[in-house]
Structure 1
Amino acid sequence: MPTPTKGPRLGGGPAHERLILANLATALFEHGRITTTVTKAKRVQPLAERLITFAKRGDLHARRRVLTVVRDKGVVHTLFTEIAPAVAERNGGYTRVTKVGNRKGDNAPMAVIELVTEPVSPKQAVVKEAEKAAKKAAPKKAAKVEEPTVEETVETPAEAEVVEAAAEETKTEETKEA
């Protein structure tokens, strides 16, 4: 029996593994969140995200590709009509895996995998863009500001206070821009 391409083996063979992952994805779309082992949750996450990406496209070909994995037409309908519009603004990261502790019977590490249906905050996107712009601008400004050398030492304490005040102002301006 061939080994899987990524991650640990879940079933006895590749066909059984595909069935396990398909059933986990179906249950996830049907219930919104499921509790399973950490290994299974990590293995089903890329499959579920890919199926949601197909559902966001919404055309007939995408629906047929999802139906090859998820055999329940009702769940596919839910995926295309409810889940895909809820995550339409999101560019990935449709699922979240949270570890919840060990199972009592066999001490297996358990996790909850759930759909992330909260809308993406536009404020977060603006803040991220501003941080990127600040990081790009920061090296340019740092090159322009020159530090005083040893030769340019200040002789009187009054001049030293003026130089320190000017240095603090430039630092605060740089932090405001960043």
Structure 2
Amino acid sequence: MHDPSLGSSLIESQLPRYEQRILRTQVVRASAPTTFAAIRRVDFFRSPAVALPNRARIAIDTLRGRRGAHIQRSRSEFRFDQLLEPDGGFHLLAEEPGHAMVLGFIGRWWEKGYGRVEWSPADFGRFALPGYGIGAWGFTVLTYDAHTSVLVTEVRVHGTDDKARRSFRGYWTVVGPFVKAMGGPVLRLIRDEAESL
């Protein structure tokens, strides 16, 4: 399923303009509340397709001496809430409990250290510093029937100016295929977690 209409209005309200978009869906044989709860419980590192590129990134960060890399190096698992830790790079922008949530991330990912900048969720909609990428990552759970739901994940990225958009296009040529390849495994991990209950 790749119906563009399945994207959540929650992510639309946070980042209506974008140059890159990834949309993936997964049928789950569990109720919508169970599936939504599974998003926060699953260990994303259970999938090699997710763990290997992220462990490689952590190793590179360690070699570069990026702040916080020593914390990540020893992790044997990675769960949703760890994205929201101080060194995770994400903030929770909005949530409709049991239905949808959206995370935000801002930086220059094509640079050493990812060009991180301090920001708060209140800044997200009006962030306009030149040369930055603004991203939103959303999860939506749609009810099909009492025992079946549809899980949707969507990523959107917007550059604050032409320079940022050009830089991101070059970065995306290399990294984009890996990001796209992780979408399916992430959804299947959440599906398996929900269906195991």
TM-score range, shorter chain: under 0.3
Give me the TM-score of the superposition, normalised by structure 1: 0.24
Structure number with bigger Rg: 1
Q: In proportion to residue count, which structure has more helix?
A: 1
Structure with more relative contact order (C-alpha pairs < 8 Å, separation 6 or more): 2
Q: Which has the higher strand share?
A: 2
